[in-house]
């Protein structure tokens, strides 16, 4: 059930953190820290604060944060939000050949960059994802880390839009 910003701001710290705990993949600490910054007037302000928390984390914590994201098209257990997002683009219905291609690309990407390929799949097609994987595998590590954060920014905004009115 969606909440308004005023309802969100009125929650206890624990309730606030719990309500937003899954917005940032496997990183409830972002919502916990954001709770201390209340009140937030707008969804944009809340999202910016949460992104700032990630950006201001020590370099190794930001990298650990990126690494907590699942591979696309994995058959391993992923968070509820990731599962829904990947199902929406059909990554749960791949042929064996398609699954093998995604596995190979995920492995190659992880070997090169040290973190999973992150792509905001909502509203995109499987072809979009495949093309992005083919292109981004050629990026430099710093460039790709910045792109991972841009993709996380889009993912988290969509998740917040699902939870908060206006």
Q: What is the pLDDT of residues 127-158, one digit of tens each?
A: 898 999 999 999 999 999 999 999 999 999 99
Lowest mean pLDDT among 65-69, 86-90, 106-110: 86-90
- Would residue 69 show up in a list of annotated catalytic residues for this protein? yes
**Alpha helices for 39-95 (secondary structure H):** 43-55, 59-67, 80-88
Q: Which pLDDT score is estimated for 79?
A: 59
Q: What fold is seen in the domain 5-163?
A: UraD-like (1.10.3330)
* Spatial distance between the Cα atoms of 50 and 137, rounded to a whole number of angstroms: 28
Q: Which pLDDT score is estimated for 77?
A: 47
Closest CA to 149 of 82, 83, 74, 57: 57
Tens-place pLDDT, residues 83-98: 566 565 666 677 888 8
56 vs 94, residue with greater confidence: 56
Among the listed residues 47, 53, 69, 86, the single catalytic one is 69
What DSSP line would sit under 133-162, residue for residue?
HHHHTTS-HHHHHHHHHHHHHHHHHHHHHH
Q: What residue segments make up the domains of the chain, in order of their start?
A: 5-163
165 vs 95, residue with greater confidence: 165
Q: Which pLDDT score is estimated for 148?
A: 95
- Is 105:92 a contact under the CB 8 Å cutoff? no
pTM score: 0.87
Length of the chain: 166
Please compute the mean of the pLDDT values over residues 103-109 and round it to a whole number. Answer: 91
């Amino acid at each position: 059930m969606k909440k308004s910003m005023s309802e969100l701001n009125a929650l206890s710290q624990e309730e606030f953190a719990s309500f937003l705990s899954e917005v940032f993949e496997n990183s409830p600490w972002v919502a916990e820290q954001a709770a201390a910054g209340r009140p937030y007037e707008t969804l944009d302000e809340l999202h910016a604060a949460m992104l700032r928390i990630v950006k201001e984390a020590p370099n190794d914590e930001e990298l650990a944060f990126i690494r907590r994201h699942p591979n696309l098209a994995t058959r391993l257990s992923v968070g509820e939000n990731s599962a829904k997002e990947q199902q929406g683009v059909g990554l749960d219905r791949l042929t064996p050949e398609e699954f093998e291609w995604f596995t190979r690309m995920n492995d190659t990407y992880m070997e090169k960059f040290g973190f999973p390929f992150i792509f905001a799949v909502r509203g995109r097609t499987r072809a979009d994802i495949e093309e992005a994987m083919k292109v981004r595998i050629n990026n430099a590590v710093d460039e790709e880390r910045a792109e991972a954060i841009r993709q996380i920014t889009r993912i988290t905004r969509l998740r917040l839009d699902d939870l908060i009115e206006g």
